[in-house]
Structure 1
Amino acid sequence: MEGRVFTFAGLINSNHDFIIGFYTILVALLVLLFAKLATRNMQIIPTGLQNVYEFFISGIINVASDVAGREIALKYLPLAGTIAFFVFFSNAIGIIPGFESPTSSWSFTLVLALVVFFYYHYEGIKAKGFFHYFGHFLGPVKVLAPLMLPIEIISHFSRIISLSFRLFGNIKGDDMFLLVMLMLAPWLAPLPAFAILTLMAFLQAFVFMILTYVYIAGAVMEEDH
């Protein structure tokens, strides 16, 4: 019944998994639609939506270049950029009354975290080789290898929890905050709240994107020592 009250998708089916799946597909279609509109009529001097997308993409490249280097920033832009836009739209859609953020579901954020987790390990193995990549888990001092190996394993698996819970917790909290504001003062209070939540939607997408770059860079780059 809760889905029927607060979401349009709940009018079709009140099952929460269905609601999250419905808005996940909707967000994916919106990301594709806006990307198509932004690249439909490419111009040397960008205007309109093309200008907005080029601004954000150049921002992603510049920030990622500072974190991981220009080469890695460009090479992994398709993954990190797609994640950034997908997470932002997933966050932002929940600000609209009657919709729910897919990122307010831990199952959704867990899948995103697992995609990043397996992908950066795959890239690390491809770049360094299986034994060299996992050999790094043993640390530089062989005597300390039995101690370093479980620490490294726990450290990497904790990234799944960190990525998924950070995004889930923040967006779930934002949705609850907006719901309370709408109940207390439905006409005046939500106006500044919408601005704050839009900023948070952008910030959480940025954090997820930059951590994706950090993890990939750590997997494929050789240590100086």
Structure 2
Amino acid sequence: MKDLFLFSSFFDSSHTFAYFFHLGIVIVIAMIITKLATSSMQLVPRGMQNLIEAYLEGVLTMGKDTLGNEKAARKYLPLVATLGVIIFLSNIIGIIPGFEAPTASLNLTLSLALIVFVYYHFEGIKTQGFIKYFSHFMGPIKILAPLMFPIEIISHLSRVISLSFRLFGNVKGDDLFLAVILALVPYIAPLPAYVLLTFMAFLQTFIFMILTYVYLAGATIIEEGH
């Protein structure tokens, strides 16, 4: 139903084109924001530089609270901050009439979830070593290892589904909700909906970012006996 509102349909009405069209817009916006924030760096930040520095400081604080130290938080800051920018812009563009959120497609959410999945396992193996890292999958009781190992594998694979489908499902639902509101009462009534959907765009971005930090913490900071 929302395809009726898409500007991308002027060029091509296919869903695939609409996805890449809106993802391209998100990437361009992200690049413009980055350029504006770094084009004239100042000791006392102003404008876009001030906004981006505040954002990065917030992401860094989130990382320190989750990982327990600033060094690790800074190490993973580029990944988590980039995920946050892409996800938020992808979410927020979907509440603008005539556009569709790229995160309302599993193509993007599953890709981002797989990036996080592969990366935190890579960091876990790099930090602890292959054997020690996967030995934690067997649990603290050796006799239960044959049972615990496949359970742990399934648990980690479910994280991909959880990350991708949570984001996709919520954003897709928001898109459909807005489409219904705009179809029924296209003027004053949608204003409260825009406030709610903007909040949801922030919330879903935050959840994805904090879970990324949590998974990284679980892979790189595992105590003996756990």
User: Shorter chain as normaliser: what TM range?
Assistant: over 0.9
Q: Is the 8 A contact 1:65 1:73 kept in 2?
A: yes
CA RMSD of aligned residues (A): 1.3
Q: Which residue of 1 aligns with 2:101?
A: 101
Unaligned runs of 5+ in 1: none
| Alignment partners' CA distance in 1, 2:31 and 2:140 | 45
Q: Tell whether the 8 Å contact from 1:72 to 1:217 is kept in structure 2 after alignment.
A: no
Matched to 1:21, the amino acid is F
Aligned to 2:60: 61
Q: Percent of aligned pairs with the same residue? A: 56
Which TM-score applies when normalising by structure 1?
A: 0.95
State the alpha-carbon separation in 1 of the partners of residues 190 and 6 from structure 2: 18
Shift of 1:79: 0.3
Question: Is contact 2:92-2:198 (8 Å) kept?
Answer: yes
Answer whether contact 2:116 2:212 (CA < 8 A) is retained: yes
1:173 aligns with 2:180: no
Q: 2:48 — aligned with what?
A: 49
Q: How far apart, CA to CA, are the structure 1 residues paired with 2:10 and 2:145?
A: 56
Q: Distance in 1 between matches of 2:27 and 2:220?
A: 29
Unaligned runs of 5+ in 2: none
Name the counterpart of 1:157: 157
Q: For the residues of structure 2 that align with 1:185 and 1:2, how far apart are their CA atoms?
A: 15
**Does the 8 Å contact 2:80/2:209 carry over to 1?**
yes
The Cα offsets for residues 12-36 of structure 1, whole Å up to 9 and x where unpaired, read as 1111011111111221111111011
> TM-score, normalised on structure 2?
0.95
Q: Tell me the secondary structure at the aligned position of residue 218 of structure 1.
A: helix
CA distance in 2, matches of 1:215, 1:187: 43
Q: Residue by residue, what CA displacement relative to the aligned partner does 1:154-197 show, whole Å, maximum 9, x if unpaired?
A: 10000001000110011011111111111121110111211111
Counterpart contact for 1:2–1:14, Cα < 8 Å: no
Matches within 5 A, 1:53-92: 53-69=52-68, 70-92=70-92
Query: How far did residue 71 of structure 1 move?
Result: 2.1
The aligned counterpart of 2:26 is 27
Supply the distance in 2 between the matched residues of 1:224 and 1:181 (Cα, whole angstroms): 53
After TM superposition, which residue ranges in structure 1, 4 or more long, deviate above 2 angstroms? none
Q: CA deviation digits over 1:41-100, x for unaligned, max 9?
A: 111211111111111111111122111122221110000000001000000011111100
Matched position secondary structure for 2:194:
helix
Give the number of equivalent residue pairs. 224
CA contact (8 A) 2:178 2:193 kept: yes
